[in-house]
Structure 1
Amino acid sequence: MKNSPFIVGIDLGTTNCVVSYIDTLKDDTQCNLFEIPQVTDIGMVEKLQSLPSFLYMPLESERPEISYKLPWAAPEAMKNVTGKYALTRGAQAPTRVISSAKSWLCHSGVDRNSPILPWNVTDAAEKLSPVAVSAAYLNHIRLAWNHTMASTDKANELEAQDIYLTVPASFDAAARELTVKAAAAAGLADVNLIEEPLSAFYAWVNGNADGWRKDVAVGDIVVVCDIGGGTTDFSLIEVCEEDGELVLKRIAVGDHILLGGDNMDLTLAYAVKKKFNDEGVNIDSHQMLGLIHSCRDAKEKILSDTACASADIVVLGRGRSVVGGTIKTVLERQEVEQSIVEGFFPKCTIKDNPIERRASGFKELGLQYSSDSAVTKFLSKFLKQHLGAKETEKSFIHPTKILFNGGVTKGISLRERVREVLSGWLEAEGAQAVTLLAGDDPDTAVANGAAYYGFTKRGKGIRVRGGAGRAYYIGVETSMPAVPGMPTPVKAVCVVPFGMEEGTDTGIAGHVFGLVVGEQSVFRFFGSNIRKEDTPGQVLDEWDETELSELASLEATLEADGNAGGSEGAVVPVKIHSYLTEIGTLELWCEALEGQRKWKLEFSVRQEGRQED
């Protein structure tokens, strides 16, 4: 932790990036939004509250060094455009615009370090990796900050500040490390990570000053419902008492659910496409990409402004099938709310679970979107999963308060539907209806909360006790004779318990493991956000797939030296020591029983391990 003049929170969002900061030279916890200069039109640069998470790759004929010049950039550096103008170009040149890079960061089924975006666009002259795109957003923020805040004092440069970068609570250690890698590529080599729902709660605490103690009491359980552009995240925070003081403790986080504003944009696009079809106008695949971007703009305009009754949908014409070039229609507020409320927040019972559809034998590669669009059913599943074993009189854990966050939840009708459904479940079991906690602006809460969290890390303010949001396990192959047609059984050994604090380590006592060195090996990892009682070293011979899920594996060749390190292909007896870093990534240190040799495996990269002497 740096003793820097500013504490900076960066919300690296799927749809928008927001930057907030606290000036430590002032004696308060006031969070200030950094307005980000960006290209908004050809030859125009404006300061906006957010940097839309879109990247546009202009043609050389557009002369980007002139058309999209930024005040801090040399002309030859103006290759791609990030922010508002890139968002605008999404509806006009969809094959040259990259969006949802953050969702790709957690997709273990692709090489997130390889140039794969824009996805499924075969005629793209250039492609970028999800890591590179995320780095582009952060680099824009760094350069904009330094141009605005540090032009006369290098001590104010962004890379010299305490930086807290937000990630979904459901991001596993690999996705977290890729986020850190993107930050380093942008010149921000020293960042801290904080989960987005937790950030939103910190924003609520800071926004209410000492008044938050009047809104919650001992025994309250707050469910944070965070629905952003790409993901839906749930977290539970319990209000406890220690030494006569109220204490906040994060007790659960949800699974990674790729369900959010992107899905809603697609839903609206298909509804509008049907309108066009009914009028005898066909929409091809290229126009469909533009239609999705146009529907996103319309949705955000309608949901963010209660006075907005409708929004125009404009799609550029293509070919001879469209008369007059551009085609237009209108999207009414009622259509938006009907499609989103009923489609994504249907009324259901606490017994309902998301529908798990059987996968087709052939499936298009892409983002692993949820097979069910019902956010309320995922909430039901989450609350049932985290019911304590001793609470036999309940069918789900009973939240008493709800805090909304994420751009999607700006819609009043959406918040009311979730509260209505959740209260119905509670009242059916004799509990009181859930109470709404009035939160910060959903667009800025995560960035504000991240900055305030950094303030609490300096020993001030109110801390929420959290730690690891899931338990981590390594896969250990059992020693048994080969059986035809049967794979060698694997045991799962807990190396990080649920709630383990970042920056702490633990030894796996009572176990000696065999580590293969000198040849390519696969290291398997598992995670669980349900098994909260497992301790380091606990061995699971069998488990239910609903409570333990396999994470991205590592392929690595750990160096052999012929001595204590063993020869090629040797199995070296080792003890394991696990360290959960300050940023939430997992390091496993394997120490040979004989000699001084150690190997380090970082659960961080897609297909490579790191080893150290």
Structure 2
Amino acid sequence: MPASPDRSNDTQQDHQDPDSVKSRYVVGIDLGTTNCAFCFVDTDQSDWQVETFTIPQWVDLGQIERRETLPSFHYQLTASESSALDSGLPWSSEQRQSKKSTPGCVGVLAREAGARHPGRRISSAKSWLSHDGVDRSADFLPWHGDPDVQRMSPLEASAEYLKHLRHAWDHDHPDDPLKDQDIVITLPASFDEVARELTIQAAKLAGLRRVYLIEEPQAAFYAWIDRHRNEWADMVRPGQLILVCDIGGGTTDLTLIRVQPAGESADQVQFHRVAVGRHLILGGDNMDLAVAKLAEQTFTKQNPETTLSSTQWDRMVQSARAVKETMLAQQRPKSMTLSVAAEGAKLLAGAIQVELTREEVDAVLLDGFFPNAKLADRPLAGQSGFQEFGLPYASDPAITKHLAEFLSEHRRSGLDDDDQESADRPDLVLFNGGVMSAGAIQTRIVDLLQHWFATDADDLDQWRPTVLASPRLDLAVAHGAAYYAMVRRGEGVRIAANLGRSYYMQVSDHPPKALCLIPGNAEAGQQFRADDHPLQLQIGQPVQFPLWVSSTRLADRAGELIPIDESEMTALPPICTALVRGRSRVDSLLEVFIESELSEIGTVGMYCVDADQSGRGKRWKLEFDIRSTLETDRQSHSGEGEIAGVIDVETVEACTQAIKDTFGNNPTIKPREIIKQLESIIGTGRDHWPPTLIRELWQFLLDHDDGRRQSPAHEARWLNMSGFCLRPGYGVAVDDWRVQSTWKKLHGKLAFPASQSRTESMILWRRIAGGLTAGQQEQLAAPMLANLRSKSRRIEPHEANEFWRLIASLERLKVAEKVELGDIALVELGKKKNERLRSGLLWAIGRIGSRQPAYGPLNSTVPTAKAENWITRLIEMDLAENEVPLALAQVGRFTGDRYRDLSAESREAAADYLVSRESDPHFVTLLRQGGQLGREEQSAVFGDSLPLGIRLGKV
């Protein structure tokens, strides 16, 4: 049964590949969660074959070997380890000359050394790259790493793996460097657009430019086609449905491919990818955690007085991986001992050994992840029980329930309503991913498919899905990617794959409606224009474009206006921008429409087009606001700040005039009177002004920035009001833009050197610290830290309180800097001369040592041992200040996260101390049981009143 010829464009030019000459080699790279693989084709060979590139890497100190895979781990070497690796890899000298001040390695040694020192190792970077709740380009890995370890972003860690592959290839092929070859990188079919863009960015960071993307399930199927070149045509027939079930270390990816007739000949077929499952961070990593949980429970039953430290837990997870792999193999023992090495000098006496039976492991892995579900079963909603590493694991670990939901939604995808001959059940199944190498799991899934889709008892005996054999699941994706690179050149068998997801832009809130920008049947290279519903946008002001995606609404047309249904649609990171026409900053309304395109490399592009000139006007490229996914605009679709209230236009205009009368060219209101004037206009105290109003007031203040230069009093009031109106730096759409605009206007640009201006500027930065980047916080902190470290330390007494409150509010500082600050604050707290400063110092210690940051990432907390030391010292000081209970509750608060929580003894000591002081019982509860802060407590932690509708703890 011959395949229909491939009609794809075989040129290799696009925006990443300016060269018209085809490369000699084409390359497929599996950038995996647990392992990377590299396959290639030498196109100079007439009878070309896909080959595996063996990758040289450190496997131990002083030992280099070539392996078929490169484990996806990055390890920061200790000083002694670094000196041991000074020579070896041929490209080591180039790495030593890079900008990185601390040496690291990737591959087998990184995996093994990291098992011994988990705080120095980065793993699952690919899962973090797809985490839409963090800034994926920010440096925060390793999650809960050791304080002295230099952090990297998921983007940079991914680039490190690709750099290693490039160096290895270039050393073997100096005349054909990797940057000049056509490269296909694989990614999960369910990756969102930000993750796809970041994958391309990682390749650029690694020095690769001729890069294309392919979805992993498609690549796995391409590998199957290539491995069965001579017989695949006899194994499929038109009308069949193929399920690709890809479960790797980090994700579960489900795809349906339909076999359809092609051309006039009945024996010609085409493969059409017709459906893609939702993004699920659910795979082998979760199974490792589940086995480790089982081992921990068994151990604590046998040793009820003992609890595992975070380091012991990390090592238990590493040992659990070996237990999982052994117990899922065909030949497995009746039981297996999970061993965890001792800590420190305890040696053998401190080692942990737990025996697990295969029945216990089966109950956790098979019944927990692959239960005997029914086709009507659905995954449970809620929060995942696996929160150990900060990743948003799927709420329900039952993969078979996710499979049932996927097949129920998509089993007729690609069929016409009157098509009764084609299959609506998967006749063929292709397994891929490390987890699927376990025969027991394959059998469980095939058994369930048989029971779900057998029509009657006779059919149950006669019908069973056929498993398409794939001998190397660890290399299949890279193999298929290299084969697809040849398909792009017009050779081989092509899978016809449309986008499989529809994209929308929300254009109204009441009721919520969205405009379809890119339909699900889009193919690479297509462009769309949604000009039936032009939009009115404000030029020169920040605007937000809430985006949605759906993998089930595939029949919607580009330009169609549809109601938003959150059961069918998922919110994407919004696009936030400020549209400016040329150099003009004049505010005006502009009628625009949206143009969208699906690039040849599989990424989405969007443009805002001036509608006044029939498409010939100015175009603005819209970029996903990647950073806003961390804390500031993640909830922008629901608008937590916006729903707190909206003020009428007349009142807003009166406020505008009052600000103009204070900071304009002809002022009539004195700076000290403006707040009372605004409260009179609005009719309520300033603490009750809604976020939408105060953000408008901030804009009016920014428009009259020159007015602060009239006098020190004007500047002090302007700074005070600006910080108040923009606090806490997040919570309302496009707050990122507002904070950045404030930074550009103010940082290092005070008009008056007066103490009042300096103090108010510190208050402003403290209030909006949640919207500042890590780099900006470091810039603010650098001179303050230098002052604290200086022997001739000089902090003006009347500025000292705000000095400490500001530097303690900078939650994105390095953990080592926080530890240093806390230690200094405790020393200052004990000095008699600082009695008047104790309130600010106690507030600072509580904020710096908090187990639950007000806005920063959870891995920014100081180490538990240091926090326990601070609690002990605070109790010993026995200060009378009212801030002591809140400080102790912040530093010792129970969270349920073993990486952040203090020992039970330390928390109980703090709780007993608060009871003896007759402190608020809620502080005692926070120490013993955990819980949420009340509104007043949140304001106390923040150091100010919080705007209506906005809470702390956004990350």
TM-score, normalization by structure 1: 0.90
Kindly report which structure 2 residues correspond to 1:496-515, keeping only aligned pairs within 5 A, or say none: 496-515=518-537
The Cα offsets for residues 2-52 of structure 1, whole Å up to 9 and x where unpaired, read as 611111000000000000111111123421111111110001111001000
- Match of residue 233 from structure 1: 253
Decide whether aligned partners of structure 1 residues 302 and 52 sit closer, same or farther in structure 2, where only a CA change above 3 A counts: farther
1:180 CA drift (Å): 0.6
Aligned equivalents of 1:391 and 1:264: distance in 2?
43
- Match of residue 555 from structure 1: 576
Aligned equivalents of 1:359 and 1:12: distance in 2?
26
Q: Is the 2:57–2:64 Cα contact (8 Å) retained in structure 1?
A: yes
The Cα offsets for residues 291-323 of structure 1, whole Å up to 9 and x where unpaired, read as 111222343355467467776633221268775
- Match of residue 210 from structure 2: 190
The Cα offsets for residues 188-234 of structure 1, whole Å up to 9 and x where unpaired, read as 12310000001011111111114112111111000100000001010
Kindly report which structure 2 residues correspond to 1:169-568, keeping only aligned pairs within 5 A, or say none: 169-243=189-263, 244=265, 245-280=268-303, 282-303=307-328, 306=331, 313-318=338-343, 324-329=349-354, 335-357=360-382, 366-388=390-412, 390=417, 397-428=424-455, 432-477=463-508, 489-540=511-562, 542-561=563-582, 567-568=585-586
Aligned equivalents of 2:50 and 2:384: distance in 1?
46
1:349 CA drift (Å): 0.9
Q: Is the 2:545–2:574 Cα contact (8 Å) retained in structure 1?
A: yes
Aligned equivalents of 1:98 and 1:275: distance in 2?
28
Aligned equivalents of 1:604 and 1:164: distance in 2?
26
Secondary structure of 2:536's counterpart equals strand
1:570 CA drift (Å): 2.9
Aligned equivalents of 2:30 and 2:401: distance in 1?
27
Residues paired across the two proteins, number: 589
- Match of residue 722 from structure 2: none
Q: Is the 2:180–2:209 Cα contact (8 Å) retained in structure 1?
A: no
The Cα offsets for residues 535-594 of structure 1, whole Å up to 9 and x where unpaired, read as 110111x2321211111112222223377xxx5443311232211112221111222123
Decide whether aligned partners of structure 1 residues 450 and 552 sit closer, same or farther in structure 2, where only a CA change above 3 A counts: same
Paired letter, 2:430: L
- Match of residue 584 from structure 1: 602
Q: Is the 1:259–1:369 Cα contact (8 Å) retained in structure 2?
A: yes
Q: Is the 1:68–1:81 Cα contact (8 Å) retained in structure 2?
A: no
Aligned equivalents of 2:105 and 2:169: distance in 1?
17
- Match of residue 570 from structure 1: 588
- Match of residue 141 from structure 1: 165
- Match of residue 76 from structure 1: 96
Paired letter, 1:592: D
Q: Is the 1:53–1:99 Cα contact (8 Å) retained in structure 2?
A: yes
Q: Is the 1:178–1:604 Cα contact (8 Å) retained in structure 2?
A: no
Aligned equivalents of 1:334 and 1:116: distance in 2?
39
Higher relative contact order structure (alpha carbons within 8 Å, sequence separation ≥ 6) = 1
Decide whether aligned partners of structure 1 residues 158 and 219 sit closer, same or farther in structure 2, where only a CA change above 3 A counts: same
Secondary structure of 1:450's counterpart equals helix
Identity over aligned pairs, percent: 39
Aligned equivalents of 1:333 and 1:38: distance in 2?
34
Q: Is the 2:55–2:68 Cα contact (8 Å) retained in structure 1?
A: yes
Q: What root-mean-square deviation, in Å, do the aligned CA atoms of Structure 1 and Structure 2 show?
A: 2.7
Which structure has the larger Rg over C-alpha atoms? Answer: 2
1:519 CA drift (Å): 2.2
Aligned equivalents of 1:424 and 1:391: distance in 2?
26
Kindly report which structure 2 residues correspond to 1:15-54, keeping only aligned pairs within 5 A, or say none: 15-54=34-73
Aligned equivalents of 2:439 and 2:514: distance in 1?
44
Paired letter, 2:280: I
Paired letter, 1:72: W
Q: Is the 2:500–2:554 Cα contact (8 Å) retained in structure 1?
A: no
- Match of residue 128 from structure 1: 152
1:441 CA drift (Å): 1.3
Decide whether aligned partners of structure 1 residues 535 and 64 sit closer, same or farther in structure 2, where only a CA change above 3 A counts: farther
Secondary structure of 1:447's counterpart equals helix
Considering fraction of residues, name the structure with more helix.
Answer: 2
1:433 CA drift (Å): 2.4
Q: Is the 1:177–1:604 Cα contact (8 Å) retained in structure 2?
A: no
- Match of residue 484 from structure 1: none
- Match of residue 750 from structure 2: none
Decide whether aligned partners of structure 1 residues 183 and 5 sit closer, same or farther in structure 2, where only a CA change above 3 A counts: same
Secondary structure of 1:402's counterpart equals strand
Q: Is the 1:383–1:397 Cα contact (8 Å) retained in structure 2?
A: no
Secondary structure of 1:555's counterpart equals strand
Correspondence for 1:58 among 73, 77, 93 = 77
Decide whether aligned partners of structure 1 residues 392 and 240 sit closer, same or farther in structure 2, where only a CA change above 3 A counts: closer
Aligned equivalents of 1:521 and 1:144: distance in 2?
46
Aligned equivalents of 1:218 and 1:607: distance in 2?
47
Aligned equivalents of 1:206 and 1:488: distance in 2?
52
Decide whether aligned partners of structure 1 residues 306 and 6 sit closer, same or farther in structure 2, where only a CA change above 3 A counts: farther
Q: Is the 1:225–1:402 Cα contact (8 Å) retained in structure 2?
A: yes
1:403 CA drift (Å): 0.8
Aligned equivalents of 2:578 and 2:146: distance in 1?
35
The Cα offsets for residues 386-424 of structure 1, whole Å up to 9 and x where unpaired, read as 244948999x94111111000000000000000001110
Aligned equivalents of 1:82 and 1:308: distance in 2?
32
Aligned equivalents of 1:68 and 1:18: distance in 2?
25
Aligned equivalents of 1:406 and 1:240: distance in 2?
26
Aligned equivalents of 2:34 and 2:388: distance in 1?
24
1:108 CA drift (Å): 1.3
Paired letter, 1:214: D
Correspondence for 1:111 among 127, 130, 135 = 135
1:118 CA drift (Å): 1.2
Of 88-97 and 250-259, the range deviating more from structure 2: 88-97
Considering fraction of residues, name the structure with more strand.
Answer: 1
Aligned equivalents of 1:210 and 1:509: distance in 2?
49
Gaps of 5+ in 1: 478-486
Decide whether aligned partners of structure 1 residues 606 and 503 sit closer, same or farther in structure 2, where only a CA change above 3 A counts: farther
Aligned equivalents of 2:269 and 2:628: distance in 1?
45
TM-score, normalization by structure 2: 0.59
Q: Is the 1:554–1:606 Cα contact (8 Å) retained in structure 2?
A: no
1:518 CA drift (Å): 1.7
Aligned equivalents of 2:87 and 2:48: distance in 1?
36
Of 500-509 and 44-53, the range deviating more from structure 2: 500-509
- Match of residue 178 from structure 2: 158
Aligned equivalents of 1:497 and 1:50: distance in 2?
37
Aligned equivalents of 2:327 and 2:598: distance in 1?
43
Aligned equivalents of 2:262 and 2:226: distance in 1?
21
Aligned equivalents of 1:391 and 1:353: distance in 2?
28
Q: Is the 1:265–1:295 Cα contact (8 Å) retained in structure 2?
A: yes
